[in-house]
């Protein structure tokens, strides 16, 4: 697929450590599109890192900044949007994103998420406990939102290129990007 020529956005949703940021970057590159990463946008609009926002002002402030950024991101056309893992827990956010394009959910097993999130210590919600049990519990609470993707990919045993390729094939199959 050369150039993505569609007003639709491609929105990546899913739990922490499922690969949304890396996949978003690579997918945007392959399609020649702009990438909007909601966590990065929150950091630049507040001038604070995500852990700083959680620590100083708590989860409520974070979710409110996140909703603002999600609405702004969804107002773009023909971009890749990589969301923070909790962005779609707010049904309004999910609805706005859905109206703006195609939703792709990335998933992974609790063990894989645990291994991936150990490496970086930048997730406030897993700071004190990122055991597979805790991850499994959060995944179960969030399942209703994540299962709403138009395409759902388990990234546990896939390379970055394989995940990106799967998304591109899905877009081609559905003829997304063709006017």
Q: Which is nearer to ligand S3P, 12 or 164 (CB)?
A: 12
Closest among 90, 66, 81 to 24, alpha carbons compared? 81
Smallest gap from Cβ 110 to ligand S3P, in A, equals 14
Q: CA 21 → CA 5, 18, 85, 154, 160, distances in Å?
A: 22, 9, 11, 15, 11
Smallest gap from Cβ 98 to ligand S3P, in A, equals 18
Q: Which is nearer to ligand S3P, 86 or 149 (CB)?
A: 86
Smallest gap from Cβ 76 to ligand S3P, in A, equals 19
- How many CB atoms neighbour CB 111 within 10 A? 12
Q: Interface residues with ligand S3P (CB under 6 A)? A: 16, 20-21, 39, 50, 84-86, 123-125
Smallest gap from Cβ 145 to ligand S3P, in A, equals 11
Q: Which is nearer to ligand S3P, 6 or 88 (CB)?
A: 88
SS3 12: strand
- Return phi, psi of residue 144, to 5°: -55, -35
């Amino acid at each position: 697929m050369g150039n993505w020529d569609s007003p639709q956005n491609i929105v990546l949703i899913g739990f922490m450590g499922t690969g949304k940021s890396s996949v978003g970057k690579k997918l945007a590159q392959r399609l020649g599109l702009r990438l909007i990463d909601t966590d990065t946008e929150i950091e630049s609009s507040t001038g604070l890192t995500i852990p700083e926002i959680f620590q100083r002002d708590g989860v409520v402030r974070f979710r409110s900044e996140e909703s603002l950024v999600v609405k702004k991101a969804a107002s773009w056309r023909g971009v890749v949007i990589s969301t923070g893992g909790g962005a779609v827990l707010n049904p309004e956010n999910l609805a706005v994103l859905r109206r703006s394009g195609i939703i792709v959910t990335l998933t992974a097993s609790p063990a894989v998420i645990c291994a991936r999130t150990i490496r970086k210590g930048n997730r406030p919600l897993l700071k004190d406990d990122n055991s597979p049990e805790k991850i499994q519990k959060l995944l179960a609470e969030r399942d209703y939102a994540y299962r709403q993707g138009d395409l759902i990919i388990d990234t546990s045993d896939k390379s970055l290129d394989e995940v990106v390729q799967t998304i591109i094939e899905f877009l081609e199959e559905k003829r997304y990007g063709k006017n």
